[in-house]
A and B are shown apart, each in its own frame.
Chain A
Amino acid sequence: MNPRRKKRLAIIGSVLIGIGAVSGLVLYALSQNIDLFFTPSEISQGKKETGLMPSLGQRIRIGGLVVPGSVKRDPENLKVSFRLSDMTMPIVFKDSDPMVTVYYEGILPDLFREGQGIVANGTLTEHPPTGLSIEASEVLAKHDENYMPAELAEAAGQKHDKAKYSEKQLDSKRTNSY
């Protein structure tokens, strides 16, 4: 390699290393702010590294798994509440885990079910009987990276039913919005 090429290689190499180091440090410094949501344990105990804790009345996103048996739907309208616990592998639900209750009024996404990952956006409040809870204005389903044909899923004891809505429930939303 002739000296001019060597010099260019050195300049470009050092610029690239510099940019890599700078963006690495920026991302490291921002790391907790890039997270999309708080997990239930982070809401009750604070983030692991910084201890950052959301305060009551703050608008946050929460992400967690819907605790089986915790989904309560009002038969008259679209009000629904459910509890979320941390997403941990393997999936186990213990009563001692930190949980946050989500209250929501609206139609749930198709993938919503017990045991599914959910991201909800709303205000953090404290309800006396259930403890920390979120008054959600938006509920999103988080899909995992597993895809399975229906027969295989059935054999593994998994199935998925979309939430169904009666006319009455849907009507309540229509009259409310006018």
Chain B
Amino acid sequence: MWKWLHPYANPEVSYHFTNKLLPWLSALTAIFLSIGLVWALLFAPADYQQGHSFRIFYIHVPAASLSMGIYVAMAIAAFISLVWQLKLADASAAAMAPVGAAFTAIALITGAAWGKPMWGTWWIWDARLTSELILLFLYLGVIALHNAFEDKNLAGKAAGILTLVGVVNIPIIKYSVEWWNTLHQGSTVSKLGKPSMSLDMLWPFIFCFIGFALLVAVIICLRFRNEILARNSIRPWVRELIQKNTVNNT
């Protein structure tokens, strides 16, 4: 496996690999998201007690679980960068942080918009909501650290340590609704065995979830590509690439 993975530690190889991946990922994102969102927002049946307000579920739940998923991916990258000092791992962690922060914010905002009519309040300091807010602050801290140092290696090290320390928050978010009593309800779709929703509500969710996950992949690939170029701007291959592109455009 090492033999197979080893070439991708080279920025140039990684850059071209990401380039090749992008059109496929974008096409799949467009397919899944358009089917999922149209199905979920227009055709899925309304809930018997929440009515149409429940449709926010199709954006809130993927955003919330992806906000945690991106964090775990970022932590793995930070771990690899700290132990093996792989510069590309730093670049990928820096590419992931703002995307994760955006999805955390989406989860918090859609949750508040749903909470006001359903619970009767925008916000409550229960374990689930508070730990998700801490996740947003962790992301903001990681972004700040990545930009706080001139030296990108130093910045990556500092941000990586914060990322790894913050990992303890992930199981807390996940299990907060089981460990403590909270206003936030338990998990609907990831429950073992039968999910607590009927199939004609569940299928659009699956499409939405895969669609949002692919969207995250596309945005991270775009940002990762930019990070590679920015961090290797003095290398000959980047200069060549830029020259080729400017010749093509003029």
Q: Which of A23, A31, A140, A145 has the largest number of chain B CB atoms within 10 A? A: A145
Contacts of B191 in A (CB 8 A): 145
Contact segment of B9-17, B113-121, B228-236, B242-250 = B113-121
- Check if A148 sits within 8 Å of B47, measured CB to CB: yes
**Assembled-state Cα–Cα distance A12/B84 (Å):** 12
- Check if A19 sits within 8 Å of B165, measured CB to CB: yes
Chain A 106-125: CB-based contact to B (< 8 A → 1; otherwise 0)? 00111101000001000000
Point out the residue from A12, A140, A150 that lies within 8 Å of B183, measured CB to CB. Answer: A140
**With contact pairs A144-B185, A147-B197, A149-B198 given, residues A12 and B82 touching in the complex (Cβ less than 8 Å):** yes
Name the interface residues of B186-230: CB closer than 8 Å to any CB of A. Answer: 186-188, 191, 196-198, 200-201
* Interface size class, chain A: 35 or more
**Assembled-state Cα–Cα distance A16/B161 (Å):** 10
- Check if B117 sits within 8 Å of A146, measured CB to CB: no
Interface Cβ pair total, 8 Å cutoff: 116
Name the interface residues of B136-189: CB closer than 8 Å to any CB of A. Answer: 164-165, 167-168, 172, 179-183, 185-188
Contact segment of B23-31, B48-56, B93-101, B102-110 = B48-56
Contacts of B165 in A (CB 8 A): 19
- Check if B181 sits within 8 Å of A149, measured CB to CB: no
Query: Does A159 sit at the interface, judged by CB under 8 A?
Result: yes
Q: Which of A5, A9, A141 has the largest number of chain B CB atoms within 10 A? A: A141
Q: Look across to chain A and name the residue whose beta carbon is closest to the beta carbon of B196.
A: A146
Chain B 122-133: CB-based contact to A (< 8 A → 1; otherwise 0)? 001111000000
Question: Can you add 9 more A-B contacts, CB < 8 Å, to A8-B82, A31-B180?
Answer: A23-B168, A27-B172, A34-B180, A36-B126, A36-B127, A111-B50, A144-B196, A146-B196, A148-B47
* Interface set of B (CB-CB < 8 Å, partner A): 45-50, 54, 57, 79, 82-84, 117-121, 124-127, 164-165, 167-168, 172, 179-183, 185-188, 191, 196-198, 200-201
